[in-house]
Amino acid sequence: MVSSAKPRAPTSKTEMLLKKLRSSKGATVATLMEVTGWQAHSVRGFLSGTVRKKLGLTVASEVGKDGARRYRIETPAKAR
């Protein structure tokens, strides 16, 4: 039997958000709200409680030229 190994799509909301946050540009709260259907306070709670505290990842926050705040997960080499 030949299996065509396709990369599987993220199945949980956590996986989807982590994928967005790991991109080089990061993601805005509005983008993360769109992906999950959550409200802004829930997205910020996820960033603080799950990403920072439970997973122990470093989240960088930067304001771009467009004035939008973007969040992204820093890789250990970039973490301070």
Domains and CATH numbers, the chain: 13-73 (1.10.10)
pLDDT at 77: 61
CA distance 9 to 18: 13
Query: What is the reported pTM?
Result: 0.76
Q: Cα–Cα distance between 72 and 17 in angstroms, integer? A: 10
Per-residue pLDDT tens digits for 19-66: 999 998 999 999 999 999 999 999 999 999 999 999 999 999 999 889
H or E stretch including 13? helix 13-22
Q: Label residues 42-73 b or e (16+ Cβ within 10 Å = b).
A: ebeebbeeebeeeeebeeeeeeeeeeeebbbb
